[in-house]
Amino acid sequence: MAEHQRIPSSRRKVLRTAACAFVALVVLGAGAAVYAYVKLNGNIKSVDIDGRLGDARPPAATDGSFNILVLGSDSRNGENGDLAGGNTGYTARSDTAMVVHVNQAHSGAQIVSIPRDTLVTRPDCTDASGRTVAGAKRAMYNSAFETGGAACAVKTTEQLTGLRMDHYLQIDFAGFARVVDAIGGATVTTTVAIHDKDSGLDLPAGQHHLDGQQALAFVRTRHGVGDGSDLGRIELQKQMVKSLLQQAGGAGLFTDPVKAWSLGDTVTKSVTTDSALGSVNALVGLAQELKGIGPDQLGMVTLPVAAAPGDPNRVVEQQPQADQVWAALKADRAFPQAVVTAQPENPAQADPTATPSTSARTAGTGGRPTAKATAHTTPKAAPNPATGR
């Protein structure tokens, strides 16, 4: 057998140096990974929803589908006050609420927006300090979060829908703006100009690429579009959700380590989750499950509501349409077409050439003739007494 060739000493030194450098990089890389993991885990705030609610809850689905309650908090603490103005003291309401249903195959999702002014029967709850919060009849939906925190918001939503909320995600004003900036902004199109001094939004008609602060103003505005109702604002929020999904899908977030790190740091600083999602591994796992869901795989409706008897500034579920929506999610099937057809239009995409008589006749019905839009009325929401919004 031929002898192995001797490697020149100079080459051996180069190889030895390269090997040492490789080992050093691996060690440093592992150290960086550990640092990143610990740092991101430390960013996450979580709430033990399961521990507070116990077993008296709707059963979880067994087919692989699951539900997430997503709340937007109107807290003015810290950066939020600078961005949003106003004052809620030390309390916060859930001015945005979405039930997100992910289907059995995790290939699509359906979202139901719950108007903040929906009157519900709020159950007895236990708040974060362990204090019992008495339930109430004809309470505004968003009062559950204000009076009893995340667990009470989940309990109220489960009672309203009959569905198990498997997970919980909460984001505030500043967190939303940071996440939008981290994915590179959001593109929206309006066929009408929007000028709202309360939210600070000032957009001419056309397509606009918004930064985080502008996107926040877009999802908060209601006085600048339509009839000024909260239901109009929800339609803007639906447009924003689809825009953000589109932007995230094309931003290379799953292939660019620098972008992934930046987004991960931003997201983990910006959200509060249930304890089951309160780790980097859990959030990454959820993101992996949902990454195939884009705007085209998303169905969105607003809970069908009607003006509350005796209070035109509040709404109640409209039946049987509301129950049909919740039944569709429970059965993991599409929303009823009759409900989808009767949904209000996005006021930022209304027909700018509509005549005044047409606009007056359809105001409060999402731009559709009153006789057809039976699933919704859009009473002008009374301002939040703490914020004027």
Q: How far apart are CA 135 and CA 130, in angstroms?
A: 15
Judged against a pLDDT cut of 60, whether residue 366 lies above it is answered with no
Whether 235 shows a pLDDT value over 60: the answer reads yes
Q: How many whole angstroms separate alpha carbon 37 and alpha carbon 72? A: 26
pLDDT recorded at residue 358: 34
Q: Smallest Cα–Cα separation from 103: which of 64, 147, 55, 60?
A: 64
In contact, 72 and 174? CB cutoff 8 Å: no
User: In whole numbers, what is the pLDDT of the chain averaged over residues?
Assistant: 79
Q: What CATH number corresponds to the domain at position 280?
A: 3.40.630.190
Q: Is residue 61 part of a domain?
A: yes
Look at residue 272 in the predicted model and tell me its pLDDT: 92
89 assigned to some structural domain: yes
**Inside any domain, residue 17:** no
* pLDDT (0 to 100) of residue 118: 95
pLDDT at residue 344 in the model: 85
165 inside domain: yes
Are 199 and 163 in contact, with CB atoms under 8 Å apart? Answer: no
pLDDT number for residue 35? 55
Give the CA angle between residues 364, 370, 372 to the nearest 5°. Answer: 120
Residue 129, pLDDT score: 81
The answer to whether residue 275 is domain-embedded is yes
Most confident range (mean pLDDT) of 5-9, 241-245, 319-323 is: 319-323
Alpha helices in 202-256 (DSSP H): 212-220, 230-249
- What's the mean pLDDT in 167-176? 91
Q: Is residue 158 part of a domain?
A: yes
Encoding tokens for residue 332?
């993991």
- 138-152, 167-181, 219-233, 362-376: which has the minimum mean pLDDT? 362-376
Give CA 305 to chain center in angstroms.
Answer: 20
Give pLDDT, residue 140: 94
For residues 122 and 105, is the Cβ–Cβ distance under 8 A? no
Contacts for 55 with CB less than 8 Å, ≥ 6 apart: none
Structural domains counted in the chain? 1
Q: How far apart are CA 98 and CA 43, in angstroms?
A: 24
Q: pLDDT tier at 225 (50, 70, 90 boundaries)?
A: confident
Domain-embedded: residue 209: yes
| Residue 247 pLDDT level (bands cut at 50, 70, 90) | confident
The partner residues of 196 in beta bridges, in order of sequence, read: 201
Question: Is the model's pLDDT at 367 over the cut of 50?
Answer: no
In a domain, 385, yes or no: no
- The mean-pLDDT minimum among 147-161, 193-207, 239-253 falls in 239-253
Question: Residue 279: pLDDT above 80?
Answer: yes
Q: Which domain holds residue 303?
A: 47-362
Q: Quick one: which H or E segment has residue 150?
A: helix 143-161
Q: Is the overall model pTM greater than 0.95, yes or no?
A: no
Encode pLDDT of 303-357 as tens digits.
999 999 999 889 999 999 999 999 999 999 999 999 999 998 888 886 655 443 3
